[in-house]
Amino acid sequence: MKGLFIAIEGPDGSGKSTIVKKISKMLNIDKINHITTREPGGIDIAEQIRNIILNPNNTAMDAKTEALLYAASRRQHLVEKVIPALKNNKIVLCERFVESSLAYQGHGRNLGINEVFSINQFAIEDVMPDLTVFLDISPEVGLSRIASRSSLDRLDLETIDFHKRAYVGYETVKKMFKDRIIVVDANRELESVVNDVYKIIVNKIRG
């Protein structure tokens, strides 16, 4: 079996973390060698960058600074964790990747999807997921799901308009990468969503 890079994308509150945990258990039962990780974060340096980006006190952060910090954390996570795992023939299941930057910074922050993609190229050097599963949920429903969390980060606390722009950004991203993005309706019972995502992933692994 060869390594595969699989990204799980979607708006805040789409269920990425819960779904990735459940998928990982199912992959373990099926003895499929994999790691799970997340962006921004996944390793110490990138988690430190995550804390800077998402600290609710950092209200002065400029949009380009934000985009560059996401790209910096992405770079470190890629070289320190993702690429070595792929070289060891592992399946890498990653919550978020460059598509998030295109949607949130490119469209949400109005920096331009192409501009944000080009600064990210310096960081990722053409490494892209083999498959991206997009958990589709409206920003309104997503945000209402996370509203009861004890701590909300700087991006969670952004306006609904920002989250709506990010969602519209994802629409463009889906078209840009239509050959490797699969959309799953995430506004359903968790078990059905998990089962659908699992089937998609296993189909890809089994080629």
Tell me which residues touch ligand TMP (CB under 6 A). 12, 16, 38-40, 54, 70, 95-96, 100-101, 104-105, 155-156
Nearer to ligand TMP, 75 or 96 (CB): 96
Which single residue is written with the structure tokens 């078209």?
Answer: 175
Is residue 41 within 8 Å of 92, Cβ to Cβ?
no
**Bond before 84 cis per omega within 30 degrees:** no
Q: How far is the CB of 2 from ligand TMP (least distance, A)?
A: 25
Closest listed residue to residue 10, CA positions, set 113, 204, 145: 145
Q: How far is the CB of 159 from ligand TMP (least distance, A)?
A: 13
| Class of residue 140 by CB neighbours under 10 A (exposed 0-12, middle 13-18, buried 19+) | middle
Nearer to ligand TMP, 172 or 202 (CB): 172
Nearer to ligand TMP, 105 or 132 (CB): 105
Q: How far is the CB of 204 from ligand TMP (least distance, A)?
A: 21
Nearer to ligand TMP, 1 or 157 (CB): 157
Rounded-to-integer distance, Cα 5 and Cα 78, Å: 11
